[in-house]
Structure 1
Amino acid sequence: MLPHAHLAVGYLLASGVVRATRRRSMTRREALLVVAGTLLPDLIDKPLALVVGGPFASGRTVAHSLLFGIPVVLIFRTVLRRRRGPAVPVVLFAVGYASHPFLDASVFLVQGTLARDLVEVGFVLWPVGLPADGIVRFLERLPAADRAIEAKPRWTARHVPSGARLSRWIRVVELALASAATVLWLADDAPGVEALRDR
């Protein structure tokens, strides 16, 4: 997914959290934390892919992994707690951060067989990966899951476009998400825009 889609999903989720828990719009500081959280995985992994390559060449490795993301959130929480800050900014940063790898994974989870999809989304636990074969074998023991696993490649072939058509479909979804987030951001009085004006 492109950066604007990550920003959009992070903002929509975080704004929902603030509205549900605080009954208000996001503040400038909260919005900037969401932006930082949603973009951090790519700000780390894409340069690693370009500069180092090799095991990092996919651009979805270290920072897309929950094995990296969870400690980052815990460190952020510790730093904020020392300053006696509220927990909400940590939650919003974590929501933005966690939304990034899961949004990237969602693109892969509709494309083919479940075993292949699980291998593709293994970056969420990089460098360990997901035990795709073990998960599939476990699910195959469950009657309803077994039928769904068997039917998934046929469903994918019938309902999910491939190649250039899939890319266009993904771009349309990204544009819809960005449009929805922009409308909500404007309804929230555009938190964070004053930071750009102050420069």
Structure 2
Amino acid sequence: MSSMAFPANCRHMNEPVRFELRYVRNYFTRSISFLSSMWPLGHAAIGYLLYRLTTRVRFDRPPGYRSVLVLMFGTQFPDLVDKPLAWILGVIPSGSGPGHSLVVLGALVIGFGCCTSWHGNREYVAAFGIGALAHALTDAVEVLWNPYTTTGSLFWPISSPSTPTVMGALFEPLSELYFIAEFALVGIVLGWWYRDGCPGLERIRTALRQAQATPK
């Protein structure tokens, strides 16, 4: 009896499966790295805390609402840049890349400062810079307890960011304590923001009321 002949391309039949699994694994790894880093509320809280201290020292008053809105944008700016580059475009290995680089952020702040020097809006530059730099530095704190992470993204393009790991990021005990402390800090900073008069909130409410009152 002759042996059964298999198609010549039979050895390639599993390649599409491997191809799909590779992309699923990459997407899962990139997504899970978000869980091991600070959440948006945590970045906003750290940024507000630092900026509040600077305004108290320099002006002896709470932050103004315009500066707070710029500050909030700055605290989310690194993720607004790097997360789409990693999760949507796939051009960097993780959600920490050029947007988390002190080199890039420092150049942006200096550039913004030069552009606004004749308009008298340097306070907005300070708010953005404090928010963005605080974001990058607090994300790098994870290297203290997670041996699978590096600070490569802080000095991009001089150094390259590392590829995130899943198990090392999720099950480090100190990472869990960091997660709990982050939300405790959010609660404390919300209390200070309320004592400061909730800067920025009334402006948002006014804009919403004006939008609702505008005839369609």
Give the 4+ runs in structure 1 shifted more than 6 A: none
Q: Would you say 1:75 and 2:111 are equivalent positions?
A: yes
Which residue matches 1:187?
195
Pair 1:20 & 2:50 matched: no
Separation in 1, partners of 2:94, 2:157 = 12
- Alignment coverage as a number of residue pairs: 162
Partner of 2:79: 42
Match of 2:131 in 1: 96
Report deviation, 1:162: 7.3
What percent of counterpart residues are identical? 32
C-alpha distance in 2, partners of 1:63/1:129?
14
Alignment of 1:27-176 (within 5 A): 27-54=64-91, 56-83=92-119, 85-112=120-147, 120-129=150-159, 163=171, 165-176=173-184
Q: Encode CA deviations 1:59-110: one digit per residue, 9 max, x unaligned.
A: 1001101121012112221222132x14333222211111011000011223
Map Cα deviations across residues 14-33 of structure 1 (whole Å, 9 max, x no partner).
Answer: 00000011000111011111
2:17 aligned residue:
none
Alpha-carbon shift at residue 171 of structure 1 (Å): 1.9
Shift of residue 40, structure 1, vs aligned partner: 0.4
Greater relative contact order structure (CA < 8 Å, 6+ sep): 1
Higher normalized helix content (fraction of residues): 1
Structure 2 length-normalised TM: 0.69
Code of the residue aligned with 2:134 in structure 1: it is S
**Unmatched tracts of structure 1, length 5 or more:** 131-160
Contact preservation (8 Å) 1:8, 1:178: yes
AA matched with 1:122: G
Unaligned segments of structure 2, at least 5 residues = 1-37, 161-168, 209-216
- Which of 1 and 2 has greater Rg? 2
The CA distance in 2 between the partners of 1:79 and 1:182, in whole Å, is 33
Identify the range of structure 1 (184-193 vs 74-83) with the bigger mean alpha-carbon deviation: 74-83
Matches of 1:166 and 1:93, distance apart in 2: 30
Secondary structure at the counterpart of residue 57 of structure 1? coil
Coordinate RMSD, CA, aligned: 2.0
In the alignment, the residues of structure 2 paired with residue 46 and residue 87 of structure 1 have an alpha-carbon distance, to the nearest angstrom, of 28
TM-score (norm 1): 0.75
Distance 1:162 1:64, change over 3 A: closer
